[in-house]
Amino acid sequence: MQKIAVAMSGGVDSSVAAALLKRAGFNVIGIHLKLWPGSFKPETMARAVAKKLDIPFYVLNFEKEFKKEVVSRFLKDFNQGLTPNPCVVCNKEIKFGLMLKKAKSLGASLIATGHYARVKKTKEGFKILKGFDKNKDQSYFLYKLNQDILKCVIFPVGQYTKEEVRALAKKFSLPSMYAPESQEACFIPKGLAIFLKKHLKPESGKMVDERGRFLGIHPGSSFYTIGQRKGIGLPAGPYFVLGKKKNTLVLTKDERKLLRKELKIKQTHWVLKPCKNVQAKIRYRSKAEKAVVSGNKVVFSKPQRAITPGQSIVYYNNSELLGGSIIC
C-alpha cells in the first residue's frame, strides 16, 4: 500500500483530501505545518480530523524556515516598494520543498494538499491544470513547482467544486466541515496594514501628481499599491496610485493612465518548456488575456490595469498552467 503524506491545515479542503485518499486505499499520514507562532487552533482541528480518519498525525515546526524564506522576503519586498505574493514562495520553499523532504523521511513517496488544481502525467512530463471550480482554482500559486516535485504530488480536491467538497466533509462527518474560509496569508490574520505597521518602520513621504506637484503627505509608501484608490485621503478626488519613486507616491485622477500593454519580467519558470504565445494573468483574480512572452518582456493584446511590480504574472494555455514570472 503506497504511503502518502497529506498537508493538513485544519481547513475543510485538506481534510477532505485526506479522507478521499484513505477511501482510495492509500496509507495516509497527516502532516500539520507549524509556520507562524500562535497558530494553535488550526493544529487542534487538523489533529481532530486525523483522529476521526484514524491516521497517524505529525506536527512539523517550520517557523524558523518560514520566517526566513517567506516572511522576511515579503517584508523586504514591501520595504522596496514592491507588492509580493508570499503564497507562491511558500508553496515552492515550504509546502512542496521542506515538507516533501520530511515526508520522504517518514516513508511517504507522495504528498497531497487541498489545493484546487490538478496534475496530469503526459508523454512530455507532468502538467499542472486548473481546478474544476473556476472560482476556487489555485493553480496560479503553483507555477514555481518543477518536474521533480510534480511527480510526487496529488491534488485530490482539484476535480471537485467547493460545494461538493463541503458536501463530502459532511458525508465523512469531518470536524472541519464548517471551518471558515481563510482570507489572508496565514501570518497576516489581522490584515496587511496592521502587520506592516508592526514589522516595518514606514517613513512618511510626499504625494505628487504626474507633473511632480505636491498634493499631500502619506504615512508610508509600503501601505499603498499600484491602482489603489481607497485610503489616499485627499480632497477633490478620487485619486489613484500611478507609481512609486523611492518614498514618493505619484497619483493621478485619470484611471485610464493605469492601463499598460507591456511589462518587464524576471525569475521566469516554465513547468515543462518555454512558450511564446500564452494567456497571462497579472494577479490571482484578474482575467487571463492573450500575450506574447519574449525574453524579459511580456506584451498583451489588450491593455491591463494597474500592473504591479513584485506580483506574479502567470501563463496559461486554456486550462494548462505553463509557467510564470515576477513583474519588475
Cα separation, 58 vs 77, in Å, equals 33
Residue 152 known to be catalytic: no
Left (φ > 0), alpha (ψ -120 to 50) or beta: where does 267 sit? left
Phi and psi angles of residue 98, each rounded to the nearest 5 degrees, phi first: -60, -40
Which residues are registered as beta bridge partners of 121?
126
3-state secondary structure 118-171: EEEECCCCEEEEECCCCCCCCHHHHCCCCHHHHCCEECHHHHCCHHHHHHHHHH
Can you read off the three cell numbers belonging to residue 222? Answer: 509600503
Among 90, 152, 275, 328, the one annotated catalytic:
90
Residue 186 known to be catalytic: yes
At residue 299, the 3 state secondary structure works out as strand
Among 87, 152, 186, 328, the one annotated catalytic:
186
Q: What is the DSSP code (8-state) at residue 181?
A: P
Can you point out the beta strands (E) in the chain?
A: 3-7, 27-34, 57-61, 110-112, 117-121, 126-130, 153-154, 205-208, 214-218, 240-245, 248-252, 259-270, 277-281, 289-294, 297-305, 312-317, 320-327
Which residues are registered as beta bridge partners of 70?
none
Catalytic residues, by residue number, are 90, 186
